[in-house]
Amino acid sequence: MTTEMICAGFGGQGVLTIGKFIAQAAMQEGKNVSWLPSYGPEMRGGTANVSTVVSTEPIASPIVSFPDVLVALNQPSIDKFAHSIRPGGVLIYNTNMCPRGCQREDIIQIAVPMNEIASEIGSMIVLNMLATGIIIGKTNIIKYETLEGNLTSFLKEKNPDLLAKNLAAIQRGIEIGKQYA
């Protein structure tokens, strides 16, 4: 079983972190993983994307051409990657930043006003964790508990308030994702 995922958005929206947290947790759960970011000056203010592969088999190519899951935090990301989603795959996108959305009908679209929900929770910083939650709710790619453990050991001392907000965002995302599972 292999899940190939691309997360894309503006540099600074934390897309690389989405992939990293999922890869990290999946690794701890005994899966094979790879995380391959776009890099270079294009990331300065431009777009960033990361290919993440999670598999029960050894991973041959870490390059994802036809993702099972695309997370698009802005419209340019849909324009660039949505056509390559495998038929039957999943597109998770931020309606607040993707005015035109996506026309494909052979994929499952999860359209979520992520900016709104993030500011409801109390900070735009948690937008990427909201997206991570949606991925988990839809695909069960990792367990919530693994991610919670990692975030807790990372943030508990440093910033307990941000930890609480992040966990709230993930839980909220999972609820949303589950509606499509």
Q: Which residues bind other proteins (CB under 8 A)?
A: 20, 23-24, 27, 32-37, 39-41, 44-45, 59-63, 65-66
Report, in Å, the least distance between residue 180 CB and other proteins.
Answer: 27
The SS3 assignment for 80 reads: helix
Cα separations in angstroms, 165 against 79, 89, 96, 161: 31, 29, 20, 6
Task: Output the six-digit token pair for 100.
Answer: 């035109």
Using the minimum distance from each CB to other proteins, give the nearer residue, 33 or 114: 33
Q: Which residues are 32's β-sheet partners?
A: 55
- Of the candidates 147, 140, 138, which has an alpha carbon nearest to the alpha carbon of residue 170? 147
Task: Output the six-digit token pair for 80.
Answer: 């660039």
Using the minimum distance from each CB to other proteins, give the nearer residue, 40 or 99: 40
What is the bridge-based pairing of β-strands 2-10 and 47-55?
antiparallel
Report, in Å, the least distance between residue 32 CB and other proteins.
Answer: 8
Report, in Å, the least distance between residue 21 CB and other proteins.
Answer: 10
Report, in Å, the least distance between residue 153 CB and other proteins.
Answer: 14
Using the minimum distance from each CB to other proteins, give the nearer residue, 46 or 160: 46
Report, in Å, the least distance between residue 173 CB and other proteins.
Answer: 22
Using the minimum distance from each CB to other proteins, give the nearer residue, 32 or 96: 32
Using the minimum distance from each CB to other proteins, give the nearer residue, 61 or 95: 61
E strands within 59-149?
69-72, 90-94, 108-112
Residue 40's identity, in one-letter code, is G
Cα separations in angstroms, 92 against 31, 54, 112, 165: 23, 18, 8, 21
